[in-house]
Amino acid sequence: MNAHKGRLACHRPDPARVGAVHLTFLGTSAGTPTRTRNVTSQVLTLDHGGVWMLDAGEGTQHQLMKAGISARRIERILVTHLHGDHCYGLPGLLALIAIHERREPVTLIGPRGLAEFIATITRLSDLTLKFNVVVQEHGGSGEWVAEHGWHITARPLVHRIACSGYVLQEPERAGLFHPERARALGLPEGRAWGRLQRGETVNGIAPAQVCDPPRPGRKLVLLGDTCDAGAIIAAGSDCDLLVCEATYTTERAAKAHEWGHLTAAETGALAHAMRARALAITHFSSRYTTMPGALDALSKEAADACPDTVVFTADDLLTLDLALDGRVALRA
């Protein structure tokens, strides 16, 4: 079983993780907060220092502060659906971003009704923002090209209300440059090396002679609440990291499906179908987070269903590093 408990594991810094993007869980509880867990929100810190967020339940402002992440760096917020435990923190979060004196636009992507929700709160509370809020609504599916070429794909999930998951795909990166090859071909260090790395032919020397083949970009799949995520499998296949709810164990499958959620075993099966390299389970019913050892049953169910996938059990403020080669590891 490849299950890992985030609060117990410890790793030495790995030089290969230089250039990693970081996913931090700000909230991992389903429906309501507990004494040790907030409701749903995740933060992705990209290579260029920008921050993207998935959902913003109540208390997200406090969790950002505990994680040491500046609200001013938030560039976009992906909203899966408009249930309160995923969006009631948005108005306060926008106010926090304003207090941190951001001037650049913030983009919100989410379901129909998101613009009305933000506009109503802004109007009734007299919220003044000195940055533009760009709301991009979709009907379950959509595609956008964002900062630094990252591609965002939304696909519908089956839940009690309109809900989506998001696939984040980094653009293809140049292959590794080999200086010794360039020197052997009579090309000394200088601007020509940079041109070769950008794909240009210099003095008859083709990039393929001194560079490895292009490397695929990293791929993450971040899901909202669902009892059926089949519509996102094709877009999310072969991802480096899948983040998905595991609200109940199989013994409470009827309750899970009644409320539009997955069991941990179903989440593991989804990871297996996607051929995900790593899976992080989250959005736990409070019945498991308040009972000692109860999360172990969720972890085991998920891991048993996807034996070729590394499984992480999320805690609030747990951070996962996604290295340039796609490997996922706990932040040391």
C-alpha 193/C-alpha 210 separation (Å) is: 9
- For residue 92, the SS3 value is helix
Q: Among 237, 67, 76, which residue's Cα sits nearest to residue 150?
A: 76
Instruction: Give bridge partners of residue 133 from the DSSP assignment.
Output: 106
Does the annotation mark 228 as catalytic?
A: no
**What kind and span of H or E run contains 109?**
strand 106-111
Q: What does the alpha-carbon distance between residue 60 and residue 77 come to, in Å, rounded to a whole number? A: 12
Using a 10 angstrom Cβ sphere, with 0-12 exposed, 13-18 middle and 19 or more buried, the burial of residue 252 is middle
Q: What residue type is assigned to position 92 of the chain?
A: G
Q: How far apart are CA 28 and CA 55, in angstroms?
A: 11
Phi, psi of 296 (to 5 degrees): -60, -35
Q: Give the number of other Cβ atoms within 10 Å of residue 217's Cβ.
A: 17
Among 85, 225, 316, 321, which one carries the catalytic annotation? 85
* Element containing residue 143 per DSSP (H, E): strand 142-145
| Of residues 220, 81, 241, the one with CA closest to residue 153 | 220
Active-site amino acid positions:
85
